[in-house]
């Protein structure tokens, strides 16, 4: 997967108003810095104002332009208010990057008494993202141009065990976006879903086992977002993600069997958070065969 050049990114984003949710850390922060340095007017959304301010200052030090809006992306009223404020301040949005998200690594049977696990992931990963889309879509349609980039997960393609709540919420956004893509194609609006593998961000930090697993850096993940904006594909996925999706379509029993092996090889959520042990030989081998997946 060839990365776009800085020149190509600059040509694609120069002078564009680009909203990035979850912009205070991780993929969102690094994406904002990359696009800001290439000439975009980045509009930063997240809950914590102090962190947003630091990201804004970093972008300005790079010669870019940035604004920030503290927003609780699980609160639909807050999203609506902020969306209206952004449109009042900037008149239009060229690109919306739905990056904010919550991941929960827990087997379904461990969530029997934790229905809120499923509610929390849907709140931000699905409802919050959809509410953001609804906020900018009418102006994009009126202007007959725009792009929505959703940060999804390889788990949607691979059906990763222990991530039922997380993957389901990302899959809901994927399904919504595929339906929307057909509706707005005639309005010159592009929808791109990025099926990210594991990325070394604060989101995965609680699970100590992940320190030893193959993962993208936040800068590499940000480059995938840039590629989405430059090339405007319907989706971006790693080869492993494509293979996993194909195996489930063609030979679902094989896909389930492989994922079941991974489920048994890796410890439960609580154990994975507590252990500082390096993965054993079988775990390392599985991680090499299926790089970027969470188990």
Catalytic residues: 166
DSSP 193: E
Edge-to-edge strand list for the sheet holding 146-153: 65-70, 41-46, 17-21, 95-98, 146-153, 189-196, 235-237
Q: Which residues, at least 6 apart from 151, have a Cβ–Cβ distance to it below 8 Å? A: 27, 97, 98, 99, 101, 194, 196, 225
Query: For 220, how many CA atoms within 13 A lie in the half-sphere containing its CB?
Result: 14
Place of tokens 């063609």: 250
Strand intervals (E) in 47-188: 65-70, 95-98, 146-153
> Token pair of 46, please?
């997240």
DSSP 5: P
DSSP 211: G
Helices (H) and strands (E) in the chain, counts: 13, 7
């Amino acid at each position: 997967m060839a990365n776009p050049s800085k020149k190509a990114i600059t040509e694609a984003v120069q002078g564009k108003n680009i909203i990035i949710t979850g912009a205070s850390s991780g993929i969102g922060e690094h994406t904002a810095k990359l696009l800001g340095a290439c000439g975009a007017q980045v509009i930063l959304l997240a809950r914590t104002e102090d962190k947003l301010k630091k990201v804004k200052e970093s972008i300005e030090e790079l010669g870019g332009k940035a604004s920030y809006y503290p927003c609780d992306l699980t609160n639909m009223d807050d999203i609506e208010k902020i969306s209206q404020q952004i449109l009042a301040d900037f008149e239009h949005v060229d690109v919306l990057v739905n990056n904010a998200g919550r991941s929960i690594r827990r087997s379904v049977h461990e969530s029997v008494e934790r229905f809120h696990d499923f509610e929390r992931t849907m709140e931000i990963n699905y409802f919050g993202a959809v509410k953001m889309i609804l906020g900018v879509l009418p102006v994009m349609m009126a202007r007959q141009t725009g792009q929505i980039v959703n940060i999804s997960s390889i788990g949607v393609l691979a059906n990763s065990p222990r991530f039922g709540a997380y993957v389901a919420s990302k899959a809901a956004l994927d399904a919504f976006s595929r339906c929307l893509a057909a509706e707005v194609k005639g309005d010159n609006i592009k929808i791109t879903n990025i099926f990210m593998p594991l990325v070394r961000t604060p989101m995965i930090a609680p699970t100590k086992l992940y320190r030893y697993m193959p993962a993208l850096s936040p800068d590499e993940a940000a480059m995938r977002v840039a590629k989405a904006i430059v090339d405007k594909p319907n989706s971006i996925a790693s080869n492993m993600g494509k293979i996993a999706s194909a195996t489930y379509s063609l030979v679902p029993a094989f896909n389930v069997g492989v994922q079941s092996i991974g489920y048994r090889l890796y410890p439960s959520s609580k154990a994975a958070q507590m252990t500082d042990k390096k993965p054993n030989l079988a775990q390392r081998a599985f991680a090499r065969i299926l790089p970027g997946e969470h188990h």
